[in-house]
Amino acid sequence: MKRALTFVLVLGFSCCLQAQAVDATVCQILDNPQSFNGKMVRIKGTVVAGFDQFVVKGADCGININKNIWLAYPEGSKAKAGPAVQVHVQPAHNFTGDVPAAERTPVTLDKNSKDFKQFDSLLATPFKKGGMCLGCNRYEVTATLVGRLDAVKNAKVTRDSAGKITGFGGFGHMNAYPARLVLQSVSDVVSKEIDYSATLAVTKDENISEKLGPDPLESARTLAASFPAGDPAGAQLQRAVGAFGKKGDKNTGVIIAHGTGNEADAKLEGKSAVDSPDGLQFTCTINSNRAFGDAESRALFFCGENIANLHYPSTEDVGAGIFDLESHALVVTTLSAVRSAQKTLTLPGGYLIWNITWPHEGIADKVDAVISDFLTKEELLHQ
């Protein structure tokens, strides 16, 4: 009898959470995330599972911030959709600063509903045609989402006057998102196929290997070391891959993990379980279903450059925002594709950032311009 009563109470509490959901728009939440912190909210939005994003977009907000809410499934959901790659920084076990505990009301995902299964399946469907398309998804999805809204005041990694990291920012990739929706239920699912036709006209005849050597990181190291001494491009790649330490290093403070990276994982919000050389723990999570074969090597360069810029930023990069950090990482990713003699490289939404047939004159400016368009128009990041 006692067990039955407990079950009824738990069920009633879950129903109560959903009944008390506050109706809000993406823009209202992003305008003042902390006013929604801890609340159950109901929003209608467009969801994208991209290269380094798993977000609800707010394209029409017209506010001077990054226009996305990070999306997460409750811990243990074991669903399929999520970003292809992401970087996260947190205090290691031996971090000496204060790490406040986050107290959050548990959320249970209605993962057996027809709507959620459709939602998750659509967002987990990759676009695979025509050369290497990093984290490119076939669909974006508009839906009504109910979940717990988590928020922080400062969605940036913060530093003291000496440049040492003292605070760990928000949610998702690079701790850069001030708001996160931990999903409880989905309804009104409508999909839209992303148009890659313009890119396919260029990339349709290119085939990319889905196989890589047994150690993608070692392949990345070999590629970075293949440049002549003193080559600036080689130095950039070596810095990125150097973020993972040298081969055989036992504790670099950097972990390469493989998984979907789509859950609100409590292990990433407090201190990690292990020590690191300087009290910081960086995790590069790669979804092997979204970045496989040669694309995993590109993802490692992307992660490495982001980690290097967080860990040991150059003077001009101290305090840099997510737009600049992402731009630098994508340039290094492109350089790795060029050195690998790839004919093309494409980003989600059909942004072609490398084409071997482009004239050499002015090519750096062209790559920078495409990356800037991608970050502002596709990822909705504020410059």
| Nearest residue to 217 (alpha-carbon basis) of 142, 302, 147, 155 | 302
- The token pair that represents 7 in the structure block: 């079950």
First to last CA, the chain: 59
Rounded to 10°, the helix 322-339/232-242 angle is 110
| Nearest residue to 297 (alpha-carbon basis) of 214, 208, 217, 206 | 217
pLDDT given for residue 12 in this prediction: 43
DSSP of 227-293, one letter per residue?
A: SPTT-HHHHHHHHHHHTT-STT-S--SEEEEES---B--GGGTS--SS--TTSEEEEEEE-TTTS-T
pLDDT given for residue 41 in this prediction: 98
DSSP 3-state of 26: helix
> How many CA atoms lie within 13 Å of 256's alpha carbon, on the beta-carbon side?
19
Spatial distance between the Cα atoms of 29 and 71, rounded to a whole number of angstroms? 13
pLDDT given for residue 207 in this prediction: 76
| Nearest residue to 330 (alpha-carbon basis) of 72, 91, 52, 48 | 52
pLDDT given for residue 18 in this prediction: 45
pLDDT along the chain (383 residues), means of 10: 38 48 96 96 97 93 88 97 96 89 91 97 94 95 98 88 86 96 98 95 80 79 94 96 93 95 92 94 94 90 96 79 94 96 95 95 95 96 85
DSSP 3-state of 146: strand
Spatial distance between the Cα atoms of 366 and 241, rounded to a whole number of angstroms? 25
pTM: 0.92
List the domains of the chain with CATH numbers: 19-82+102-193 (2.40.50)
- The token pair that represents 182 in the structure block: 């931990």
Burial class of residue 201, CB neighbours in 10 A (0-12, 13-18, 19+)? exposed
Burial pattern 346-364, b for ≥16 Cβ within 10 A else e, equals bbbbbbbbbbeeeeeeeee
pLDDT given for residue 103 in this prediction: 85
